[in-house]
Structure 1
Amino acid sequence: MALPRERCLLWLFAVFRCLCFLNAVSVDTDKCDELRLGQYICETPKINDVTQEPENCTNYTAFVPCIPAPNITCRNYNGIVNTFNGKEVGFYKPFSCRNVTGYSYKVAVALSLFLGWLGADRFYLGYPALGLLKFCTVGFCGIGSLIDFVLISVQIVGPADGSSYIIDYYGARLTRLVIDNDTYRKKQMEQ
């Protein structure tokens, strides 16, 4: 029969072993959407032929399915830990897309180039008052037509409803950079 002191030590040792085992089993696994590059691969989005944007684009965001590599263990959005085989979807990665309503960039540039002096470009983009002004003044004597052509070509002037132009998915899209209060500014070294 074991002495009370030895029995107490055996009991403490058993409790210690159980705690170590539980700690090893409950290792915190990463969320699937926090995997590192190389641990997953995302499918390419399906592009709509008419809008030239991803098919599931809503609120300037589209989601594409991503597949973790084989034998990667991660926690999905429900909190369930799963080990993947390399063929099942682990998460959906969001990426930005544009809101388009039907105004073609190619048509707007062509109208501005050839019929801009009549205001056809402004009528097409939804600015009837400016289109009528250009029509009545013959394109502000040509200078207004040239300025409008440049503004439409560099995508500063867009459709009146605030949407974006329909531009080929891998076409000449321009992204405007904006500096605001959240922009990080690197300090210049003093000389």
Structure 2
Amino acid sequence: MAPLCQIWRPDRGRCFKNLRDHLRFVYRPGLTESPPPGEESYTFGCPSGGLCQRLPADCMLCNFQHNCTYAKATSFTCRPRKGVHCVGESGQQQTNFSLSISCRFCWQLDPSQYRCFNSTSCMTVSCPRRRYNATCDVLDHVHCLGRRSFQKRLYCNWTGGYKWSTSLALSITLGGFGADRFYLGQWREGLGKLFSFGGLGIWTLIDVLLIGVGYVGPADGSLYI
């Protein structure tokens, strides 16, 4: 008795016993469909035929040793990942190559060489200035030792689009009517200044000084731009 087919292809008149056979049949190299089971997804983001030394870090495997001298250029032996093809300076395909990098862990890199999640929930205008735990990822073309994703404690540095020059100008010219506080989103203080005529001028003068030195900032806790 013929086996019962679970998936049938009406366009070709054939069927498959299980989903794995179906996926193997559908997949074709170079198309946009999902790769078959067991095929690594990273190969689809790796260049093919380029120089091995210029491969992104996720496209190669290196025998990084942690006993090198900090910040000193050190050579390590690397190889492209399975399914990734690269060539050397001579144009011939290589399975092993030498990569020279600065000896430092990923969390020791310059801030321009990694990207961190910028928190918009912590107060930037506070004393002392607050910090937050950020998850950082190294850029693809940067090579380093250790984990490429790490945690860092950073200062709150996001902005809501408020300008320091605008708030200071409003404080000097229309501060007696609370325009500076209204602009910064501090409605209660703005109403207080409005109905007290800027605290008879005293509150207005104090706000000019506080905004001028950056002590009073946007109500959402962001930085000036």
TM-score of the superposed pair, with normalisation by structure 1: 0.45
TM-score of the superposed pair, with normalisation by structure 2: 0.39
Determine which structure has greater relative contact order: mean sequence separation of CA pairs < 8 Å that are 6+ residues apart, divided by chain length: 1
